[in-house]
Structure 1
Amino acid sequence: EYDRAIEEHNKAIEINPNRAKPYNNLATAYSAKGEYDRAIAACNTAIRISPDYTDPYVNRGVAYGEKGEYDRAIEEHNKAIEINPNHATAYANRGNTYNKKEMYDHAIADCSKAIEIDSHDAFSYNNRGFAYGEKGEYNRAITDCNKAIEIDPHYSSAYNTRGVAYSGKEMYERAIADFDKCISLNPSYMTARKNRKDAFLLRRHAE
């Protein structure tokens, strides 16, 4: 699927190598394949052609984030926001990066801004829920995850995040049900499998 997309974007570039958008689309496809260095290279070209085009900065930020280069990722999202202060995806991805850096108040602020711009942003509701959960604000975490699931009932990560919050509240039956749902949607979600195992152990100790 991604290989076909890469082929199509390369054809578009061959026809007109002076358009930024096909390079940005190529970067998206490379990131989806986990080829982050190639994604960054494609973004570099897109930005060279069109320095005020925000999406390649966001894509480059996502690629740096996946490589664990969180500060560089934040710089890229900052550039996108500087060009377009209402770029919901840039706030959403910067918020996600702040979560990875365990800067939860920053994450909450960015996710809130993303939601303000786009109220159907399930990704940001989940990420804000995660940040609230890490701060021990489990009820707020659950509320945000409920919203993420309402927007996208197949969003496996939101069930995992809500399950962690329920575990934090010692509501292990609900936690296990959420981890089960997460795993049914995404059987390779190893974090949810570990969390479910932990919830079973905690429930046993609580009995």
Structure 2
Amino acid sequence: MALDYNMDIGATRHRSIVTLSTCQNPMKAPFALLALLLSALSMPIVAMASPSLPVNTTKPAEAHNYKGTTKYQQGDPRGAIQEFDRAISIDPKYAEAYINRALAKMGLGDKRGAISDYSRAIDLDPQDALNYYNRGVAKFDAGDKQGALSDFDRAVALNPQDAETYCNRGAVKLSLGNKKGGIADLNIGAKLFRQQGQMSDYQKAIELIRQAKK
């Protein structure tokens, strides 16, 4: 059976949702989200992680960010966005609030809004590979495959040991008709999964490669 590359590109590590990958990475910053990465071979969706709010915090922005993640987990993305809005209003340089708001927006189908928030997070922290990854997923979901590829290129440059990014970039290349490049990236991703002891993800990547070669 031929691999459905478009389906394989669907979620966010915000991994918002390119279903391009086979696993999830740990959060890179307090209160930040993991992008969801769903595919036929992937894990269940990962929601926002619940940050621990300091008991006597004097940072109102962090308090609103905490409330936002709580509301999101309770199934209230609109309420969550309102809290993230408040956090950003208090601290316009609070990158984690932009990232969290982007995930909530993706959940409501506001892809352009999510891309805008990821872009702001990148402006604030241009060396965080996960922000490029997340924006790449959102761009792919919005139909901008070339933009997604560009963001995955940047994510790989910043974090060349991230197997998942290689697998997602490979899936994007396959969806653009670049079979050779796509399989090459999947092979790199599979190799990294094996080196890092993630054997289940390694086997899934190998299966993607097998299907891609058909």
Provide closer, same or farther for how the CA distance between residues 136 and 56 of structure 1 changes in structure 2, counting only shifts above 3 A: same
Listed as ranges, the gaps of 5+ residues in structure 2 are: 1-46
Listed as ranges, the gaps of 5+ residues in structure 1 are: 171-207
Q: How does 1:167-186 map to 2 (within 5 A)?
A: 167-170=211-214
Structure 1 counterpart of 2:77, from 36, 54, 71: 36
Provide closer, same or farther for how the CA distance between residues 15 and 61 of structure 1 changes in structure 2, counting only shifts above 3 A: same
Aligned residues: 164
Alpha-carbon distance in 2 for matches of 1:96, 1:65: 10
- TM superposition outliers: structure 1 runs of 4+ over 6 Å: none
Aligned partner of residue 93 in structure 1, secondary structure: helix
Report how far residue 46 of structure 1 moved.
2.2
Report how far residue 111 of structure 1 moved.
0.7
**Which TM-score applies when normalising by structure 2?**
0.61
Q: Quick check: 1:128–1:141 contact (8 Å CA) kept in 2?
A: yes
After superposition, the CA RMSD in angstroms is: 3.4
Corresponding residue for 1:116? 157
For residues 86-145 of structure 1, give each alpha carbon's deviation from its aligned partner in whole angstroms, at most 9, with x where no partner exists. 232221111011111232111111011112112233342232122111112223223323
Provide closer, same or farther for how the CA distance between residues 44 and 91 of structure 1 changes in structure 2, counting only shifts above 3 A: same
Provide closer, same or farther for how the CA distance between residues 54 and 17 of structure 1 changes in structure 2, counting only shifts above 3 A: same
Provide closer, same or farther for how the CA distance between residues 45 and 78 of structure 1 changes in structure 2, counting only shifts above 3 A: same
Provide closer, same or farther for how the CA distance between residues 67 and 164 of structure 1 changes in structure 2, counting only shifts above 3 A: farther
Higher Cα Rg, which structure: 1
Report how far residue 78 of structure 1 moved.
1.5
Share of identical aligned residues, percent?
25
Q: Which has the higher contact order (CA 8 A, sep 6+)?
A: 2
Letter of the 2:204 partner, please give it. Y
Alpha-carbon distance in 2 for matches of 1:74, 1:169: 32
**Which TM-score applies when normalising by structure 1?**
0.63
Corresponding residue for 1:146? 187
